[in-house]
Structure 1
Amino acid sequence: MEDLIKKTLGTATLKKTGVGGGGCINEGEAYFTDTGTIFVKRNAKKKAKLLFDGEFASLKALLATRTVRAPEPITVLDNPAGGALLVMEYLDMRRVTRFSRQLAESLARLHLHNAQLGKKGRTSSVDGVDGEEDVAHVREFGFHTTTCCGYLPLDNTWNSDWA
């Protein structure tokens, strides 16, 4: 796994920081690299790539709004040991409580973002989000790729209503 990450990132250095952990679905570990610290989430299940592809796209979509800080996703890899890996920027979350108000304000801006774009008349089709382009107002509910709630894939087909 570590050789694959080093090769993919083009880094000679990949050293565990000692920061990591896990839950009932994924495990993760922070690593020092030649260009900074990354966080690698891993999941050994057969459909882990589907889960991480959805998370990758979701992080890109969040970042594209420029309303809330989220880790920059780098890549999704098939884990040679089974399952998949999600490699992303490492964010130090140890002292975030002092930023609670700022986080709440950012989340409020995120939830208002699409409505504000609609008021500005910035409309487009619903063909997905590219983090390098401006985000346009979306008139439908859905997402351009499958995401998961835990291990369960969600049907994100575009619809005119929430139901």
Structure 2
Amino acid sequence: MTTVHIRAGAERDLRRVQEIERAAGGLFRELGMDRVADDSPPPIPVLRRYVHNGGLWVAEEHGPYETAAERPVAYVLAEPLDGNVHIEQVSVDPGSSRKGIGRALIDHVAARAAAAGVPALTLCTFERVPWNAPYYKRCGFRVLAGDELTPGLRRIRAEEAHVGLDRWPRVCMRRELAA
């Protein structure tokens, strides 16, 4: 049986995080979303900022006979936004997908945020991509109506539109957290 260990991301993980993003992004090609598939991963200075701000979490898989930590197979980037915690990115290496690792990362961020008294998680995602909005709905998120968007979410959506992501329908989502 494989177990997953989630830990704070570190400087040593940054190149691997980029590899995970490239591999996971390639799946968009199957949907005709080549522009998304070809998008570059976050640059090292941006990832380093998440490390220093405590917003990068990585998941490692451990098999039944391993004693040393393996390299990360998934990651999440999260940061404060308008009084909530905003999930900027969740990516799982395709070789480790469909094992609940992405959900474990989201739940980890949710538990930490709830313990800190944060009311909700937010994110922006593609509405019709099966592993985006439909997946996040199964993880407890709901789509926000336009009048529910906070200033920070409106800013993010404007930035996404500016770089052309509105070519495919996008939504903002929220998951309430228990105190």
Name the TM-score, length of structure 1 as normaliser: 0.27
Which of the pair is proportionally richer in helix?
Answer: 2
How does the TM-score come out when normalised to structure 2? 0.26
